Amino acid sequence: MLKLRLISGAAAAVFLAACATPAPPPEAAPEASLDAEAETPAALALDVSVYDGDFVDIQEFTTPGGVSVWLVSEPSIPIVSVQMAWRGGSVADPEGLEGLGQAVVYGMNEGAGDLDSLGFQTAMEDLNMSFGCSNGSEWTSCSATMLSDNAAASMALVASALTAPRYDPGPFERFVREQEVSLKTRETSAGYLAWRAQSQALYPDHPFAREVSAQSLAALTPELARAHKDALMTKDRLLVTAVGAISPEDLAPLIDAAIADLPETSDVPAATPVTLPEIAAAEPVVVPLPQPQSLVRFIGPAMDRSNPDFFPAFVLNYTFGGGGFESRLVKTLRVDKGLTYGISSSIDPDPNFNVWSGGGQTKNESAGEFITGIRDEMQKFIEGGVTEAELSDAKAYLIGSYPLGFDSNAKIAGNIMSVRQDELGIDYFDRRNALIDAVTLEDVNAAAAKYLAPDRFSFFVVGEPEGLSAE
């Protein structure tokens, strides 16, 4: 399935300047030419290996600058999206400087080179492009979406942000003001309160439990953000994927120009795995919040992808709580009992955070019944397992619906980046359905007995649940 070919193409201009002359707007002028201002055209030769998959064809190549890129060409709509990701997220915030990674990404589209915040945002609007970065717990990511007509000028703007972000005082202070509002509003956010109760009860000393505080926010400075940006965004930890109406030859120089000035390497602490207790507390943790409903969340230990139980558990989760209208949690707690608008469960495949979790919301009066109902469903899986019909339905959906995840550039971009981040291999999409199909009833029922015991799950309730007392 793997074909190799060598392309010698025309040179493409490399834009090093920070978009001093924004490309003309689409309505006023023709497209920005890729060959504009090329000084000495050098033939670009790329080794592109093509993975010809059932769902997507992925072109894999290394740019002259040494960046490994996965590209899915989609010529039928005039859009290009480029994703970059670096391993290392908020867990890399130094102690006492929680929120520093957030400050780094906030400033990435708030001014670069000669452009201040307003100038940068205006340049993006002139190009009809979007660019922004995010800081998750373990990854820092940037995403740029642009019209193929002016991809070169759009990527030049991205290059200026990666090369010379300004971290001006104005936008930085605005970031701090917005964070101060978040510190206040999170105190009455049910989702946040459930997360905080969970992290304090189960892994209080792990970096995943750390969060921005008034003190850490006060300690942040633009200088710290600039330095931390250099620690997070280095060449050695960079993954790049792209989808859209562009060829490898046109894309490669744009990527190289964007990352040319990134540091080669840095020292960023890696995340370590969270270990949840095998036996959870018997009583739910209750966090008071004055509202008509209680948010109920449950969480227990699971397994990572390398564990042979992973696919059986993944298939089992469809019947348990992952299958929407077809899950037993929905059939029992929503359809039969009318207790909730929605309840779901999922397995997090993150090797550092292997958890099986889920939940839903119900009126305060029925919070106790809701929790009992969830535990009863878990118990039924242990005692009776799933039926042949349930297993066959789960496989039919999981395999049959897989193409739905590949019908847009945005979904394809997300999928190929996930495969790179989780190191699943370029052929993963084509192997995945066979892995699901191979799961037997015996496998699923063994996974149910092993992982779904109600006493493995900690429960957290936010609201004013009746019959449950706050700690």
Least distance between another protein and beta carbon 321 (Å) = 14
Place of tokens 């291999």: 425
Least distance between another protein and beta carbon 34 (Å) = 10
Least distance between another protein and beta carbon 312 (Å) = 20
Q: What is the CA radius of gyration of the chain?
A: 25
Q: For residues 436 and 458, give the distance between their C-alpha atoms in angstroms, rounded to a whole number.
A: 28
Scored b (16 or more CB within 10 A) or e, 91-108 reads: bbbeeebbbbbbbbbbbb
- Nearer Cβ to another protein, position 7 or 38? 7
Least distance between another protein and beta carbon 392 (Å) = 8
**Residue 193 has which token pair?**
């309160």
- Nearer Cβ to another protein, position 334 or 456? 334
CA angle 217, 222, 226 (to 5 degrees): 115
- Nearer Cβ to another protein, position 88 or 358? 358
Length of the chain: 471
CA angle 345, 348, 353 (to 5 degrees): 130
Q: For residues 375 and 282, give the distance between their C-alpha atoms in angstroms, rounded to a whole number.
A: 11
Edge to edge, the sheet with strand 458-463 lists 285-288, 458-463, 293-301, 355-363, 343-347
Least distance between another protein and beta carbon 355 (Å) = 24
- Nearer Cβ to another protein, position 247 or 307? 247
Main-chain dihedrals φ then ψ at residue 167, nearest 5 degrees: 50, 50
- Nearer Cβ to another protein, position 250 or 443? 250
- Nearer Cβ to another protein, position 147 or 386? 147
Least distance between another protein and beta carbon 232 (Å) = 23
- Nearer Cβ to another protein, position 32 or 355? 32
Three-state DSSP class for 28? coil
- CB-facing half-sphere around the CA of 82: CA atoms within 13 A: 31
Determine contact, residues 367/296, Cβ cutoff 8 Å.
Answer: yes
Least distance between another protein and beta carbon 204 (Å) = 24
Place of tokens 């037993």: 328
Least distance between another protein and beta carbon 431 (Å) = 18
- Nearer Cβ to another protein, position 150 or 266? 150
Q: For residues 331 and 130, give the distance between their C-alpha atoms in angstroms, rounded to a whole number.
A: 41
Best CA proximity match to 191, nearest among 285, 294, 281, 274:
294
